[in-house]
Amino acid sequence: METTEDTGFSIADAIAEAGRCLHCQRPLCREGCPIENDIPAFNYALAQGNIGQAREIIAQRSNLPAICGRVCPHETQCEGHCVLSKKGNPIRIGKIERFIADFDAEMHLTHIRASRKNRGTVAVVGSGPAGLTVAGDLAREGFNVVVYEGEREPGGVLLYGIPEFRLPKSVVRREVSTIAATGVTYITNCMVGVDLTLEQLFERGFDAVFIGTGTALAKSLDLPGAELAGIVQSNYLLRMVRLFSDGNVGREEVPVAEGEAVVVVGAGNVAMDAARTAVMLKARSVTVAYRKTIAHMSASKAEYESTVSDGVRFLWETEPLSFEGRGALVTGLKVRGPSGEAVLPADKVLLAIGSRPAARIISTTPGIDVDSAGYVITKERPYGMTTRKGVFAGGDVVHKPATVVLAMKEAKKVAAGIASYVDAKKLLEE
Please report the pLDDT score of residue 218 as a whole number.
Answer: 83
Q: Is residue 114 part of a domain?
A: no
Q: What is the pLDDT of residues 305-341, one digit of tens each?
A: 999 999 999 999 999 999 999 999 999 999 999 999 9
Query: Average model confidence (pLDDT) for the chain?
Result: 93
> Residue 233 domain-assigned?
yes
CATH of residue 93? 1.10.1060.10
Average pLDDT value for residue range 218-236: 95
Q: Are residues 334 and 222 in the same domain?
A: yes
Within a domain: 226? yes
Does residue 227 lie within any of the structural domains? yes
Residue 281: pLDDT over 60: yes
Shared-domain flag, residues 90 and 139: no
Residue 115 lies in a domain: no
Query: Tell me, what's the pLDDT at 109?
Result: 85
Are 199 and 222 part of one and the same domain? no
Residue 5 confidence (pLDDT) above 60: no
Domain end residue (candidates: 51, 85, 107)? 107
Q: Encode the chain in three state secondary structure.
A: CCCCCCCCCCHHHHHHHHCCCCCCCCCHHHHHCCCCCCHHHHHHHHHCCCHHHHHHHHHCCCCCHHHHHHHCCHHHCHHHHCHHHHHCCCCCHHHHHHHHHHHHHHHCCCCCCCCCCCCCEEEEECCCHHHHHHHHHHHHCCCEEEEECCCCCCCCHHHHCCCCCCCCHHHHHHHHHHHHCCCCEEECCCCECCCECHHHHHHCCCCEEEECCCCCEECCCCCCCCCCECEEEHHHHHHHHHHHHCCCCCHHHCCCCCCCEEEEECCCHHHHHHHHHHHHCCCCEEEEECCCCHHHCCCCHHHHHHHHHCCCEEECCCEEEEEEEECCEEEEEEEEECCEEEEEECCEEEECCCEECCCCCHHHCCCCCECCCCCECCCCCCCCECCCCCEEECCHHHHCCCCHHHHHHHHHHHHHHHHHHHHHHHHHHC
Encode pLDDT of 395-418 as tens digits.
Answer: 888 987 678 888 899 999 999 999
Together in a domain, 397 and 420: yes
- Is residue 1's pLDDT more than 70? no
Domain end: 77, 107, 137, which one? 107
Are 208 and 229 in the same domain? no
Residue 113 resides in a domain: no
Last residue within a domain, chosen from 354, 372, 392: 354
Note whether 232 and 126 are same-domain residues. Answer: no
Residue 384, pLDDT above cutoff 90: yes
CATH of residue 136's domain is 3.50.50.60
Quick one: average pLDDT of 30-34? Answer: 94
Instruction: Say whether both 230 and 348 belong to one domain.
Output: yes
Q: Is the pLDDT of residue 3 over 50?
A: no
257 and 205 within one domain:
no
Q: What is the mean pLDDT of residues 219-241?
A: 95
pLDDT at 356: 83
Residues 44 and 161 in one domain: no
Mean pLDDT of 43-51: 96
For 361-380, how does the pLDDT look when each residue is reduced to its tens digit (9 = 90+)? 888 888 999 998 889 999 99
- How many structural domains are present in the chain? 3
Question: Is residue 360 pLDDT above 90, yes or no?
Answer: no
129 and 161 belong to one structural domain: yes
Q: Would you place residue 225 in the very low, low, confident or very high pLDDT band (cuts 50, 70, 90)? A: very high
Does residue 345 share a domain with residue 226?
A: yes
pLDDT tens digits along 303-313: 999 999 999 99
103 within a domain of the structure (yes/no): yes
Query: What mean pLDDT do residues 289-293 have?
Result: 97
Give me the pLDDT at residue 6, please.
Answer: 64
Residue 1 lies in a domain: no
Q: Give the residue-averaged pLDDT of 188-204.
A: 95
Range of the domain at 37: 11-107
pLDDT of residue 363: 84
- 326 shares a domain with 344: yes
